[in-house]
Amino acid sequence: MITKGIEDLCKEAEQEIETMSVKQVMAVKDDPNVQLVDIRDIRELWREGTIPGASHAPRGMLEFWVDPKSPYYREEFGSGKKFIFYCAGGMRSALAAQSVHRMGLTPVAHMAGGYTAWTEENGPTEPKEAKLPKPR
């Protein structure tokens, strides 16, 4: 039997990291020192779209992409920008931001309500097309 549920974990994460509202994120999304990071599964992006200018870092690979010693390291995470993570509803992104914050990545935040709240506030979106292998 588990002793702590996902809601408890997310509440704890939000005690450690900055939580931003959709309106706050909208106000800074075009700042060159800010990078939005969509951590949803690629199939979610294909199905629902994404926020223009957001990079994609799937939740399952995030820590590997952040760690400079990992063979999967992505240089964007060494840029010194503020990273604002989001998912569909704000739970995965809270845990993701907490995890990379504990790794030493700063500054980080997550967007409360996630992509769902973003679309409800009529935030700009764009389709994310599947990249299919080129025929030989």
User: What single letter denotes the amino acid at residue 128?
Assistant: K
pLDDT exceeding 90 applies to what percent of the chain? 93
CB 55 within 8 Å of CB 77: no
CB 113 within 8 Å of CB 25: no
Q: In the block, which residue shows the tokens 């294909």?
A: 46
Would the CA dihedral through 35, 39, 45, 48 be positive or negative? negative
pLDDT at 79: 96
35 Cα distance to chain centroid: 9
Residue 132 has pLDDT above 70, yes or no: no
Q: In the block, which residue shows the tokens 């063979």?
A: 71
CB 50 within 8 Å of CB 126: yes
Angle of helix 91-103 relative to helix 6-16, nearest 10 degrees, comes to 50
Q: What does the domain layout of the chain look like in residue ranges?
A: 12-120
Using one digit for the tens of pLDDT, what is the confidence trace for 80-109? 999 999 999 999 999 999 999 999 999 999
Q: CA 10, CA 120: separation in Å to the nearest integer?
A: 22
Q: What is the mean pLDDT of the chain?
A: 95
Strand boundaries in 6-133, DSSP class E: 18-20, 34-38, 55-56, 82-86, 108-111
Q: What is the CATH number of domain 12-120?
A: 3.40.250.10
pLDDT at 53: 96
